[in-house]
């Protein structure tokens, strides 16, 4: 989703009049959004289209994604903060600034092994060095997580090796047993059924039929 960095920035003059200014860098960057965010923005756009129809001639088209629903003009920051505080309290969070949402997102992505380069691009940072300077506090947790995953990988490799060794030992044992039986050295003696024909002498006695 393209997000132009040259979009107007809200503000007011000393007299209280609203003032718009462009960001310094007139370029755009692309941010990949999750499916839920895309669905939410699509629903928001449908509502905004309805607001535009209701406002009719009062609507001032400025191309804002989030605008005053009655006029289409930039959303008053105080309105945004008021709504944010209501949502924050409903979630049971006592202290959280609106800008902290950005920091929370970056920390979450770092903790879930998203590459720093990608996070830096999403946040619009000039370099990954700046990103790590700001979010370096997450590193100790990542190092512990990396150590834990390394332990799990080593344990898994050792288990797999033991299973291979046991399998090879069982195969060698089976092969050794089969070879011993073929040589006749220690194989059990087969049972032989003896039959006596009529007239055969055994221990001085004659077997009669």
Q: pLDDT, tens digit, for every residue of 12-58?
A: 555 555 566 655 555 677 788 889 999 999 999 999 999 999 999 99
Q: Cβ contacts of residue 72 below 8 Å, gap of 6+?
A: 51, 52, 55, 59, 60, 61, 62, 64
**Model confidence pLDDT, tens digit, residues 146-172:** 677 778 888 888 888 889 888 888 888
Structure-block tokens of residue 134:
């700001």
Which residue did the predictor score with more confidence, 123 or 28?
123
Give the CA distances from residue 177 to residues 110, 166, 170, 184, 191, in Å, rounded to whole numbers and listed in that order: 57, 17, 11, 11, 20
pLDDT tier, 135 (very low <50, low <70, confident <90, very high otherwise): confident
């Amino acid at each position: 989703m393209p997000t132009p960095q040259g979009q107007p920035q809200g503000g007011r003059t000393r007299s209280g009049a609203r003032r718009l200014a462009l960001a310094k860098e007139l370029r755009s960057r692309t941010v990949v959004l999750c499916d839920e965010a895309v669905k939410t923005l699509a629903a928001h756009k449908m509502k905004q289209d309805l607001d535009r129809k209701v406002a009719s001639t009062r609507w001032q088209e400025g191309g804002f994604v989030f605008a005053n629903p009655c006029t289409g003009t930039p959303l008053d920051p105080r309105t945004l903060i008021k709504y944010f505080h209501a949502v924050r309290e409903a979630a049971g969070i006592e202290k959280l600034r609106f800008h902290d949402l950005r920091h929370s997102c970056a920390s979450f992505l770092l903790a879930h092994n998203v590459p720093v380069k990608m996070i830096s691009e999403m946040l619009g940072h000039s370099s990954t060095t700046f990103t790590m300077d700001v979010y370096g506090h997450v590193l100790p947790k990542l190092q512990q997580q990396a150590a834990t995953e390394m332990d799990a990988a080593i344990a898994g490799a050792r288990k797999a090796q033991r299973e291979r060794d046991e399998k090879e030992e069982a195969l060698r044992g089976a092969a050794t047993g089969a070879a011993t039986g073929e040589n006749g050295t220690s194989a059990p003696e087969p049972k032989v059924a003896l039959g006596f024909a009529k007239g055969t002498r055994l221990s001085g006695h004659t077997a009669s039929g």
